[in-house]
Amino acid sequence: MLQEAEKIQEKKVLDKGFVYLVDIMGDDSSIVQAARVSYGKGTKTVREDRGLIRYLIRHRHTTPFEMVQTKWHIKLPIFVARQWMRHRAASYNEYSLRYSEARDEFYFPEETRIQFQSRGNRQGSSSEPVPEDFQKTFQENLDDICRKAYDCYTHLNDLGLARELIRIFLPVNLYTEFYWSINLHNLMHFLELRMDAHAQSEIQAYGFAIAEILKEKLPMTWEAFEDYVLKGQKLSKQEWNLLQKVMDLEKLKSYEENLEAAGLSKGEWRELLEKLKGFEQSPAIQKI
Ligand SMILES: Cc1cc2nc3c(=O)[nH]c(=O)nc-3n(C[C@H](O)[C@H](O)[C@H](O)COP(=O)(O)OP(=O)(O)OC[C@H]3O[C@@H](n4cnc5c(N)ncnc54)[C@H](O)[C@@H]3O)c2cc1C
């Protein structure tokens, strides 16, 4: 039984990495419980709990999500850890290469990951096929450099030179590990940014692994997060104006009879119609 639970909490990522949920304090009901402090005793059934969580995410009432605290053990290449640690609203404790010896563990990307530089996106990779000999050159060079770097590191380590200095021989595809403590609000912010198609594929892979675990642990919150954040859209004024020109409001209203099939509650339907009345609901903003 314990083994099953452990499986849910750990996911392998890349060739040697993993995410492991060490601890979680709280669940969907803790969010509801915190929110009820502000909204009173009104919502009691499971269906109402789901509705309340959806309402909170939809209206960015975020503090109840801060009541759920998570702690993770993450193993990842150093270049991914650099991106990860830009997320300041969390606590980290990392494996020390001043104190401990580096292990011979480097990230070797799969062949399909060896891609050309994207022409359209300066931060991205292209889906254009890469000739086999280019991939081979990449792999041989990476193998060679990691081997030489590690041999050099172990030789200097054997000579007794300081580990805090000899680590500068090691490339950024070396694996590191850290403990990461983060509340659910900040974790969802991290996932929104790092599961996005614009994020680097390696950190995306970690995001998706964390997502699988969270989905099991917090099904209602995850569903709402997916609906309103991951798969929802925010439009600019110009985009919205353009869409309004081609939108058939009368046709849309015919769906009112069948809201369940559209997956909308009455409240969401009402809010949708309000949004459609103008770009922003606030009359003050409309005057600007
Ligand atoms: C696709 C992508 C590309 C990126 N490219 C680059 C890049 O080229 N160069 C680069 O340097 N970074 C880059 N980043 C990192 C990015 O700029 C953020 O540093 C990172 O995503 C962390 O986001 P955050 O600050 O919202 O998160 P956190 O640090 O976790 O902060 C959470 C929230 O707390 C608040 N906050 C925290 N600290 C402060 C503060 N000091 N002042 C005000 N508010 C604060 C903000 O509201 C913030 O959103 C990139 C990120 C992504 C996802």
Question: How confident is the model over 161-202, as pLDDT tens digits?
Answer: 999 999 999 999 999 999 999 999 999 999 999 999 999 999
Distance 190 CA to ligand 1 centre (A): 9
CB-CB neighbours of 111 under 10 Å: 12
Q: Is the pLDDT of residue 6 over 70?
A: no
Q: Which CATH class is domain 2-107+173-230?
A: alpha beta
d(CA 234, CA 276): 14
What residue's CA is closest to ligand 1, atom 49? 189
Instruction: Give the tens place of pLDDT for each residue, 109-166.
Output: 999 998 888 888 888 888 888 889 999 999 999 999 999 999 999 999 999 999 999 9
Which protein residue's CA is at the shortest distance from atom 19 of ligand 1?
86
Please name the residue whose Cα sits nearest to atom 32 of ligand 1: 89
Give the residue, out of 88, 194, 196, with the most ligand 1 atoms within 8 A of its beta carbon, to mutate for a pocket test: 88
In this predicted structure, what is the pLDDT of residue 41?
58
Q: Which residues are catalytic?
A: 194
pTM for this prediction: 0.92
The rounded distance, in Å, linking the Cα atoms of 7 and 60 is: 32
Mean pLDDT, range 57-74, rounded to an integer? 97
Mean pLDDT of 203-225: 98
Query: Could you read off the pLDDT of 209-218 as tens digits, one per residue?
Result: 999 999 999 9
pLDDT of 45 strictly over 70 = no
Q: Any idea which of 126-130, 219-223, 274-278 has the lowest mean pLDDT?
A: 274-278
Which amino acid does the sequence have at 227?
D
Question: What integer best gives the mean pLDDT of the chain?
Answer: 90
pLDDT higher at 2 or 96? 96
Largest CA distance in the chain: 80
Instruction: Return the residue whose CA atom lies nearest to atom 17 of ligand 1.
Output: 86
- Residue 26's SS3 state is coil
Pocket of ligand 1 (CB under 6 A): 86-89, 186, 189, 193, 198-199
> Side chain identity at 161, as an amino acid letter?
L
CA of 191 to the centre of ligand 1 (A): 12
Whole-number pLDDT of residue 244: 83
Of 49, 26, 23, the closest CA to residue 36 belongs to 49
Distance 98 CA to ligand 1 centre (A): 28
The full set of domain ranges for the chain reads 2-107+173-230, 117-171, 237-287
